[in-house]
């Protein structure tokens, strides 16, 4: 009977095949390393890029929030300093009028008013030190001149401080604009990548979000109590926002980014906390263990602390996760973000 087994290749032929295969593999690897990953035929690379851009956008959003909060503080400081300077200028004008009246009276009596000498002096401090010994100055006149000099110095100081704060404000507004462009750029790039997906792939992504939302509706949180009434009240406020959309830079009441949800919720409980996740990480009492968390405690995620939410109980987080998502409950273990620590606010 004839044999149907394939004859063995010679050693030389086998070596040639292996060499050719290795060379082809090297060529493909080199091409993959240098090429733009966008043309990936199965689109998995594209979807990973979209998710990464969304994550980078949320990280940039917290930096934007920080710059926005700083700009608000600086604007208030500038306004206060300018208001103070305006009041001091008004007081200075009143004193100048008083000194003018004194000067007019002394002019009529034939003397050169020392207050005029003060105003013309290149060394007001030295002049006032000597002026108190002059017979022609009364105690009331000396007091008026000293007040004038003191308020003039205060006015100059207020104006200098206002100018410095205004410079800081302008720099912060520039940073704010840069952060906004960064976020919009990342979201626009993500949208362009989404547009390269097939209709089926886009439907799969939408279905995945719907599954996450349905899972949020069915979540079992348990009956564990919050550590404080304020945390419980903030958590209740956050629960009332489930289903609201993520919008970068938003702090309620109908859309939120991650720290916008937590700051809004605590505000409903009568507690003011900082706006950004990084700042919220340093308020209250730090809780280093997941097992020690209580519902209503804040949870800080990612190594750069760029994400925050509420511990909801039973290993769940209540948060506003990312662009295109809603405020919802999710398993901390499946969130894809490393837990850093918790914060308990009493």
- Domain assignment present for residue 300? The answer is yes
319 is catalytic: yes
Task: Find the catalytic residue in 57, 128, 258, 318.
Answer: 258
Judgement on whether residues 117 and 167 belong to the same structural domain of the protein: yes
55 lies in the same domain as 157: yes
State the angle between helix axes of 258-268 and 229-239 in degrees (0 to 180), rounded to the nearest 10.
120
Is 228 in the same domain as 161?
no
More confident residue, 106 or 154: 154
Query: Choosing from 88, 165, 294, 319, which is the catalytic residue?
Result: 319
Kindly state whether residues 53 and 191 are assigned to the same domain. yes
Q: Is residue 28 part of a domain?
A: no
In a domain, 227, yes or no: yes
Asked whether residue 187 falls in the same domain as residue 226, the answer is no
Q: In angstroms, rounded to a whole number, what is the distance separating the alpha carbons of residues 245 and 339?
A: 23
Asked, for residue 18, whether it belongs to a domain, the answer is: no
pLDDT higher than threshold 50 for residue 120: no
Span 279-294, pLDDT tens digits: 999 999 999 999 999 9
Q: pLDDT confidence of 7, banded at 50, 70, 90?
A: very low
Q: Which helix (H) or strand (E) holds 286?
A: strand 285-287
Model pLDDT for residues 188-228, shown as the tens digit of each residue: 999 999 999 999 999 999 999 999 988 898 888 988 999 99
Residue 70, in any domain of the structure: yes
Residues sharing a CB contact under 8 Å with residue 183, sequence separation 6 or more, in sequence order: 57, 60, 61, 64, 248, 249
User: Mean of the pLDDT values across residues 159-174?
Assistant: 90
State pTM to two decimals: 0.68
Q: d(Cα 270, Cα 264) in Å, to the nearest integer?
A: 10
Report pLDDT digits (tens) over 31-66: 333 333 443 444 468 989 999 999 999 999 999 999
Query: DSSP string covering 132-159, please?
Result: TT-TT--HHHHHHHHHHHHHHHHHHHHH
Same domain, 187 and 280: no
Choose the weakest-confidence range: 88-102, 146-160, 259-273. Answer: 88-102
Please say which residue of 157, 182, 197 terminates a domain.
197
Q: Is residue 69 part of a domain?
A: yes
**pLDDT of res. 113:** 53
- For residue 29, name the pLDDT band (cuts at 50, 70, 90): very low
| Average model confidence (pLDDT) across the chain | 81
In a shared domain, residues 188 and 71: yes
- Which of 164, 197, 230 is at the close of a domain? 197
Residues 305 and 161 in one domain: no
Q: What pLDDT shows up at residue 346?
A: 84
Q: What is the CATH number of the domain that holds 252?
A: 3.90.1720.10
Shared domain for 246 and 118, answered yes or no, is no
CA-wise closest residue to 222 among 313, 331, 317:
313
Measure the CA–CA gap between 73 and 136, rounded to whole angstroms. Answer: 50
Do residue 146 and residue 246 come from a single domain? Answer: no
Catalytic residue among 68, 70, 294, 307: 307
Based on the structure, what is the number of domains in the chain? Answer: 2
H or E stretch at 298: strand 298-301
pLDDT (average), residues 5-25 = 38
Residue 213 domain flag: no
pLDDT at 161: 87
Per-residue confidence (pLDDT) for residue 228, from 0 to 100: 94
Give me the pLDDT at residue 97, please.
74
Same domain, 186 and 259: no
- Quote the pLDDT of residue 33: 36
Q: How many helices (H) and strands (E) does the chain have?
A: 9, 6
The confidence score (pLDDT) of residue 232 equals: 97
> What is the full DSSP assignment across 218-282?
T----SPPPSSHHHHHHHHHHHTTTTPBB-TT-BSSS-B-HHHHHHHHHHHTT----SSHHHHTT
Q: Are residues 191 and 242 in the same domain?
A: no
Cα–Cα distance measured from residue 275 to residue 285, given in angstroms and rounded to the nearest whole number: 17
Q: What does the alpha-carbon distance between residue 183 and residue 58 come to, in Å, rounded to a whole number? A: 8
Residue 211 placed within a domain: no
* CATH code of the domain containing 110: 1.10.287
pLDDT tens track for 70-115: 999 999 988 988 888 888 788 777 777 766 666 565 555 555 455 5
CA angle 82, 85, 91 (to 5 degrees): 145
Residues of the domain holding 66: 37-197
| pLDDT at residue 188, rounded to an integer | 96
pLDDT tens sequence across 297-313: 999 999 999 999 999 99
**Which residues 6+ apart lie within 8 Å of 158 measured at CB?**
81, 84, 85, 88
């Amino acid at each position: 009977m004839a044999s149907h087994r394939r004859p063995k290749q010679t050693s030389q032929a086998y070596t040639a095949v292996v060499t050719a295969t290795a060379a082809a593999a090297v060529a493909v690897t080199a091409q993959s390393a240098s090429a733009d990953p966008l043309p990936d035929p199965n689109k998995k690379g594209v979807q990973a890029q979209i998710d990464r851009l969304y994550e980078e956008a949320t990280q940039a959003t917290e930096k934007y929030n920080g710059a926005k909060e700083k700009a608000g503080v600086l604007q208030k400081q500038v306004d206060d300093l300018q208001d103070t300077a305006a009041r001091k200028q008004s007081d200075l004008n009143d004193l100048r009028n008083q000194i003018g009246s004194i000067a007019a009276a002394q002019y009529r009596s034939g003397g050169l008013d020392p207050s005029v000498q003060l105003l013309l002096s290149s060394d007001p401090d030295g002049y006032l030190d000597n002026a108190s010994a002059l017979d022609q100055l009364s105690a009331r006149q000396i007091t008026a001149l000293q007040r004038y000099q003191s308020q003039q110095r205060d006015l100059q100081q207020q104006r200098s401080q206002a100018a410095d704060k205004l410079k800081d404000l302008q720099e912060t507004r520039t940073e704010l604009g840069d952060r906004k462009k960064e976020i919009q750029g990342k979201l626009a790039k993500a949208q362009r990548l989404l547009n390269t997906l097939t209709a089926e792939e886009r439907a799969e992504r939408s279905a995945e979000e719907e599954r996450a939302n349905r899972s949020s509706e069915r979540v079992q949180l348990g009956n564990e109590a919050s550590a404080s009434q304020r945390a419980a009240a903030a958590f209740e406020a956050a629960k009332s926002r489930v289903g609201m959309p993520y919008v970068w830079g938003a702090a309620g009441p109908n859309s939120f980014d991650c720290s916008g949800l937590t700051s809004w919720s605590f505000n409903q409980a009568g507690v003011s906390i900082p706006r950004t996740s990084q700042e919220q990480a340093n308020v209250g009492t730090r809780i280093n263990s997941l097992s020690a968390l209580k519902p209503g405690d804040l949870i800080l995620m990612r190594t750069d602390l760029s994400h925050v939410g509420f511990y909801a109980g039973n290993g769940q987080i209540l948060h506003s996760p990312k662009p295109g998502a809603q405020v919802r409950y999710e398993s901390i273990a499946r969130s894809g973000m490393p837990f850093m620590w918790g914060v308990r606010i009493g």
